[in-house]
Structure 1
Amino acid sequence: MADENGEEPWQWSEATWRGQVERVRAGRPLRPSSWPGGARVAVALSFDSDHETPALRDGETRPGKLSQGEYGSRVAAPKIVRLLRRFGVPASFYMPAVSALLHPEEARGYVEEGHEVGIHGWIHERNMLLGPADERELQLRSADTLERVTGVRPVGIRTPSWDFSDHTLAISAEMGLLYDSSLMADDDPYELLADGRPTGLVEIPVEWIRDDAPYFMMERYAGLRPYTPPRAVLDIWRDEFDQAYREGGVFQLTMHPHIIGHRSRLVVLEELLSHIAGHSDVWYATHAQLAAYVAEEARLGTAAASEAARTAEGRDR
């Protein structure tokens, strides 16, 4: 694919391809020497409460498609919150601002239950198709809207579809965010670099292996089909946790209410939580709490890290 100068990648100079690679890169690892309370592993569960927004983003306004998203808020999210409450597990919910406006009681309910609400775009837009000004405006508008709906200013972002444009990092840094959770360069948190320079932003990496969507998505008029049995996904996620436990690292999981919240799938999450609960030395944390802890341990010294650490400390009490 030719670039803006009409050059194919095989024609690029070393300075060009090296510059592309170094634009956003993983910096120093941030896995601490110990977790709070002497825990051996940190568990950070997250849910992307997209609901109707992916359909709306694509101009899909017919009731059938929208009803799939409605299930996420109407049925799945309450079941998930009750399950987390039963196990005493905090989680992070990434909510497009339009989703929060459609379901404000849900968004506020997350906070009231002690969970985190993070930035997840305005309408689950594809930021790599936006100009920098539009991406910046939507990201700031999303943060303002989530704060107005929930009463809490978000400190972290997960970009919609994990898309990361050439401008995303600069916008997040300008906003003073504590962390991002959209990239995949490690199993454990790390500091983000911009053109080789430390940014002070924590990355809590995601991975498609630890996401419910690739296993369970269904698109009637496309090739997406849920070929993987739910119990097979339980085996994968349990193995991911067990290895994180052996290494003393982080087990991070990304789910979607409208996907994981169906009966045969929610039992997978329930059994996974039961398995994790069988280990006494586990620290359960929101992504904000995790990012604040590793930032403080590494002395990143950002204002966002200090404020988030104080907020997390208050919630832990």
Structure 2
Amino acid sequence: MTTAPSVSIWPEGKRCAAIISVIFDDGLDAIAQAPDLKGRSKSLSVWEYGAARGVERLCNAFAAAGISTSWFVPGLVAVNHEKLLRDVVSAHHELESHGWAFERYDAATASAAVELLRRSREKLSSIASNDASGFRLPAGNWPRQFDRLLIQAGYSWSASLNGDDVPYSHPSSLVEIPVHIELEDRPYFQFNFTPAFPKGQGRIPSYDSVLGNWIAEFDAYRKYGLCYVLQLRPEWSGTPGRIALVEELLRHISSFDDVWLATAAEVARWYNRRGIVAPGDHPINVYEAYVSEEQAGE
């Protein structure tokens, strides 16, 4: 049974870690689902709102809280919004890769994947104050042994998979920082009529309920000494009303002096220095063993 940690695993005796991240796709995620959206300015403007207003509001909220955050950005968005992203960097935030143009790596050859990954990393590093070292899978499934391709392309960590509440290592030594859908804003707030996103399902719940969910999760992560990763999108959380949820959540997190508020890259570097290897019964190793057995039996 999981209980509160008797010994902290985090730096300086902190009880838990908390990462605030932003996913800035500028509508590439929507176009991937509905390519004709590029010619439908009314619907596409729902996603373009992030660049127009949401990015600035998020940066202002982070500045008021005095924190640095991790922004996952496709390389193509960095090309189209270089000035805006330079403003994000000047506000002491890190840029990390969200692929090149919201491609599916489970449908790409290894050589094509590495080329896109390198191109994205190089573009982001040319804008960022940091050397982009992290990656978040934009779409599709995680290909088997994809961690090796990421290392080949110059990455050292990922925040893409869900199989834990604390960082762990892939067999290649790539660090994984697990993420969870209940700590994203999109499942609560993404909504568009035509095309219907999500199909056949309404969104826009009570703001108080969403804040309550995020705070309840944070309090549990702190209780058990875990790594809390919030994932925000400027088009969904950067509206005049919803930015208040972000501000209130940050006030709650910052009210505890035993929380390590860090960027994802800082957490990955710290974990990598500790040299911890995922145990044999960890989901990442169980999956690899299962696939190997399946292939051996074919």
For the aligned pair, the TM-score class normalised by the smaller chain equals: 0.7 to 0.9
- How far 1:238 moved relative to its partner? 0.5
The match for 1:265 among 238, 242, 257 is 242
Q: What residue identity is the alignment partner of 1:49?
A: F
Unmatched 5+ residue regions in structure 1?
1-31, 193-197, 301-317
The one-letter amino acid of 1:136's match is V
* 2:45 matched residue in structure 1: 67
2:222 corresponds to 1:245? yes
Q: State the identity %.
A: 30
Give how far 1:151 is off: 5.5
Q: Comparing 225-234 with 55-64, which one deviates more in the overlay? A: 55-64
**Partner in structure 2 of residue 209 of structure 1:** 182
Alpha-carbon shift at residue 162 of structure 1 (Å): 6.6
Which one of 177, 185, 199 corresponds to residue 172 of structure 2?
A: 199
What are the within-5 Å matches in structure 2 for residues 1-317 of structure 1? 33-57=8-32, 58-59=34-35, 60-62=37-39, 63-150=41-128, 152-161=130-139, 163-166=141-144, 168-192=146-170, 198-220=171-193, 221=196, 222-298=199-275
Worse overlay, 201-210 or 157-166: 157-166
1:160 counterpart SS class: coil
Q: Is contact 1:162-1:182 (8 Å) kept?
A: no
In the alignment, the residues of structure 1 paired with residue 141 and residue 17 of structure 2 have an alpha-carbon distance, to the nearest angstrom, of 25
- Following TM superposition, by how much is the alpha carbon of 1:79 offset from its aligned partner in structure 2, in angstroms? 0.6
Shift of 1:171: 1.1
CA contact (8 A) 1:213 1:259 kept: yes
1:166–1:64 Cα change, 3 Å:
farther
CA shift for structure 1 position 228: 2.5
After TM superposition, where is structure 1 displaced by more than 6 Å over at least 4 residues in a row? none
Write 1 or 2 for the structure with the bigger share of strand: 1
TM-score with structure 2 setting the length: 0.82
| More off after superposition, 281-290 vs 165-174 | 165-174
**Deviation digits for residues 173-194 of structure 1, max 9, x if unmatched?**
21242211100110111111xx
Q: Residue type of the partner of 2:174?
A: L
CA distance in 1, matches of 2:147, 2:112: 14
**Does the residue aligned with 2:173 lie in a helix, a strand or coil?**
strand
Preserved contact between residue 19 and residue 229 of structure 2 (Cα < 8 Å): yes
**1:80, distance to aligned residue in structure 2 (A):** 0.4
**Corresponding residue pairs, total:** 264
Larger CA deviation: 241-250 vs 164-173 = 164-173
Distance 1:163 1:105, change over 3 A: farther
Report if aligned partners of 1:119, 1:156 keep a CA contact under 8 Å in 2.
yes
Counterpart Cα distance in 1 of 2:49 and 2:237: 11
| Counterpart Cα distance in 2 of 1:68 and 1:125 | 21
**Equivalent AA in structure 1 for residue 44 of structure 2:** L
Q: Which amino acid aligns with 1:145?
A: K
Query: Normalized against structure 1, the TM-score is what?
Result: 0.78
Kindly state the Cα deviation for residue 283 of structure 1 after the two structures are TM-superposed. Answer: 1.3
Mean Cα deviation higher: 102-111 or 81-90: 102-111
When the two chains are superposed, the root-mean-square deviation of aligned CA atoms in Å is 1.9
- In structure 2, list runs of 5 or more residues that go unmatched: 1-6, 278-298
Deviating more after overlay: 104-113 vs 75-84: 104-113
Work out the CA distance in 1 between the residues paired with 2:112 and 2:270: 32
> Hey, what's the Cα distance between the residues in 1 that align with 2:255 and 2:128?
33
